[in-house]
Amino acid sequence: MQNPIITERIQESISIKEDLLVNETLLRTVDSLASAIIKAISQGNKLVLCGNGGSASDALHFAGEILGRFQKERSAWPAVVLNADVASLTSIANDYGYDDVFARQAEGHVRQGDVFIGISTSGNSENVLRAMKIAKEKGAVTAGLLGKDGGKIAEIADFPLIVPCNVTARVQECHILLIHILCEIVEAELT
């Protein structure tokens, strides 16, 4: 007999994605963020991303699609992942505290015209929030891939992409879908 968890989780994932499909606010925000990324790359700016845990992996995944390629052969586009630099991450955590691990790096990496994307399934990751505040101060466009109600990050992000779900795994599945959609739109426009 098959474990019922298999079909239950697939159905949950489908249901949440069906909700996204009719979420006009989210759909417009994805489209607007794609346009902001296209503009930034076209003007020689970069993406700066960060997240914790699974969201850190999503930030790396997003940057890999931008730097390498998604579906089309093209030149590389610039992307920096703040959670990828282990030496900086650990030295900043040691010297300043974990809440500042991304803010300190954002201070050094983010420039006016860049796009800063913070990923947080709760929408309340303090280190992502602090980095987004620095990015805004530096004149970057800011976006959040968020879950639940979007939390504190949704309140300050220029483009809050909120997956309204309380189950972290389902939110992360939707974040990957949104990342792939953004990459496909950007590639279609710029290649």
Reported as a single tens digit per residue, the pLDDT across 99-121 is 999 999 999 999 999 999 999 99
Calculate what percentage of the chain has a pLDDT beyond 70.
Answer: 100
Reported as a single tens digit per residue, the pLDDT across 138-162 is 999 999 999 999 999 999 999 999 9
Reported as a single tens digit per residue, the pLDDT across 63-94 is 999 999 999 999 999 999 999 999 999 999 99
Whether the predicted model's global pTM rises above the 0.95 cut: yes
Residue 183's domain is classified under what CATH number? 3.40.50.10490
For the chain, give the DSSP string.
Answer: ---HHHHHHHHHHHHHHHHHHT-HHHHHHHHHHHHHHHHHHHTT--EEEEESTHHHHHHHHHHHHHHT-SSS------EEETTS-HHHHHHHHHHT-GGGHHHHHHHHH--TT-EEEEEESSS--HHHHHHHHHHHHTT-EEEEEEETT-HHHHHH-SEEEEE--S-HHHHHHHHHHHHHHHHHHHHHHH-
Number of domains within the chain = 1
Question: What pLDDT, on a 0 to 100 scale, did the predictor assign at position 4?
Answer: 93
* Residue 33: domain span: 4-190
